[in-house]
Structure 1
């Protein structure tokens, strides 16, 4: 669904509108725009010193990797130089339509170049496994891999039907903290996410308000 309403925050390559932010104020799935915002925040602010080590691949690009023709994917992703990154982060959605937005579950796929494996963090274990494997297969040749090995990683499980996207945001933060050997330079203490998803909704609302006022 396209974002609607007035502009709330223009942040690097992401424009958040009122309809995007409204998802955080009630029990509801969050959309790809909010996930892209958090990835931009981690990339541009928190882990900007590690920019050459990590690639934050936004949801729209991940969907293209999953559903696009392999030749087109290889051509379009050349500029990202994924083979040079030690860590690649990919939010996975279960939508199977290339042209239409949709899907009802998010998870996180991580490529660890040192181990040469993909790791899948799914808050509803097993739900997105097939989608994660499809993305790994699509990236195999780009990363010069003989085998696209995907390992399911134990992670906090959601206790409702709508917090999967928030789990992706939390797992993004946790993976970066663990793998980049750097706590990160968070703008404010209140934007550090926890394994309590209701806390994270409020933390993200405060972060967005803070950045909107700052900008």
Structure 2
């Protein structure tokens, strides 16, 4: 049973009297409500709904600022799964079992990653230096601490997280970078100037990159 007490202070004049309003939420449908409280039933319903939402949001690890990642996959040849791409797809880039590419080494991979879908993949601390990821789909990927010196031409990187990522030597010609996160990214000056020309980067991303 969920029970909360909310004190509601309406906008009152200086001569008005403050009346605390108690809101009780119960999962029991059989509990009788006193007649004195029937008039506040709609307000109580709204308040209970808000309390329930707050409770769920607070408890959900997905919504938390510091996202909890699952343990490292023990699946054999898990790094080679990137060559196939993510096929267990649901709506909005959510996957039943995301690709776990953490700590994988794809250095100088010129063909197997091109045009592949690694959306929502876990890519922390992986190495992609010299790889060709043109036309790849990497939306909502989590690539904290990874190293990318790759060709991202025409790639879909919407919502990708490049926090603490090495991007020096990477190219982003015609890449989609809406909502991409570049916090504390390492990138060379010349590469950065080229990245500034990408019009899909939103205001927040430009601030993180130091665009002027």
How high is the TM-score relative to the length of structure 2? Answer: 0.26
**Higher relative CO (CA 8 A, sep ≥ 6), structure 1 or 2?**
1
Higher normalized helix content (fraction of residues): 1
Higher normalized strand content (fraction of residues): 1
